[in-house]
Amino acid sequence: MNIDKKIFAQKIATLLNDQTALPLYETFTKLYPTEVLEEILDKVLSIPDYKIKRNRGALFTYLVKQYASKYARN
């Protein structure tokens, strides 16, 4: 894995306070454009805590999967 992608995955895990999901975030950085992940991350971080049902990591994962289903790769 590219070192930049690994660092970006670590940044995601840190900002979402979700180190246990680091391997998942590393997978996301391999599969999806950095710009898309940054946009989703910004959106998740902008939502107030009281509006998040589970946690930010779960919301991030949900939104990435929504992106993936909308723009499924063949």
| Residues 32, 67 contacting (CB under 8 angstroms) | yes
How far apart, in whole angstroms, are the C-alpha atoms of residue 8 and residue 22? 10
**Domain segments of the chain as ranges:** 3-70
DSSP state of 20: G
**Residue 58, Cβ density class (10 Å: 0-12 exposed, 13-18 middle, ≥19 buried):** middle
pLDDT digits (tens, 9 = 90+) for 6-31: 999 999 999 999 999 999 999 999 99
> Tens of pLDDT along 22-74?
999 999 999 999 999 999 999 999 999 999 999 999 999 999 999 998 886 53
pLDDT of residue 1: 66
pTM of the model: 0.89
Q: How confident is the model at residue 74, as a pLDDT?
A: 38
d(CA 50, CA 5): 31
Which helix or strand (DSSP H or E) is residue 60 part of? helix 56-70
